[in-house]
Amino acid sequence: MASLHIPLTDQVSLRDLLATMPDTARSGIKRGFSIVATIPESAYPDLLKATLESAHQQRPKSEGLATKLNIKVGDATSAIAALAMFSSIAASRSETLEKLLQEMIDAGVIAAADKPSLVRILPAINNIQPELKKTFSTQMIANAVLPSFDGFEAVLDVRIGDLESGGFAAPVAIAFLDTDARDHRLWFQMTKEDVETLITQLNSLLTRFKEAEALIGKWPATSGGGD
């Protein structure tokens, strides 16, 4: 459940930001860029569609992309992750795509041998920058106050009491709630009734989300001061 968080800001040099990337994450992202470099230009629309899905925090359809490109699902996932990271950084910084690409090569996140192939996809990435910038601006507003949800895992544990306790057995859920702040992570346990209550509350919240999105969709568009 490990995840990599790179602050989306141009207040710090990209070299400094990437210097803190763990070696395992660095090698994984580097492999993803190498896979992107092998993808034909005819497949760029499908790849960028998956990248946008990732930016919108939707689950990208790696299986479908892998089938279209005749590659492994894991390779498709790695390619999407690498391109999503590059696009996210580009959407939040003032450097040109070409300069960002070179800086990531200098930082060892992209292999220099992959540069000629990756340069070809830069115009396609540039075309989706307006949507990406809008997406990340929205996320920054949503994340401006409190830590943000980053993951949830749960397993079922069966507790068995000894004879002195009556020899009973009781199922209990052991759950982990993760956020994007390292000091805001929580382990806790839940009963069956807790889970049922949580599902009811989440379904109600989801309904309210959909109602709010429908309402916002009816609001008149506002003009920004973008480029």
- For 89-140, the DSSP string reads HHHH-SS-HHHHHHHHHHTTSS-GGGHHHHHTTHHHHHHTHHHHHHHHHHHH
pLDDT-derived band of residue 195, with 50, 70 and 90 as boundaries? very high
Residue type, 73: V
Same domain, 42 and 104: yes
pLDDT value of residue 2: 41
Same domain, 31 and 124: yes
Q: How many CB atoms lie within 10 A of CB 27?
A: 13
* Alpha-carbon span 108 to 77, nearest angstrom: 20
Same domain, 64 and 94: yes
Asked whether residue 6 is domain-assigned, the answer is no
Return the exposure string of 182-201: e unless at least 16 CB atoms fall within 10 Å of the residue's CB, then b.
eeeeeeeebeeeeeeeeeee
pTM of the model as a whole: 0.57
Same domain, 28 and 94: yes
Number of domains in the chain: 2
* Alpha-carbon span 125 to 41, nearest angstrom: 12
Q: Encode pLDDT of 117-168 as tens digits.
A: 999 999 999 888 888 777 666 665 555 556 777 778 888 888 776 666 556 7
**Average of per-residue pLDDT across 13-33:** 81
Query: Average pLDDT, whole number, for the chain?
Result: 80
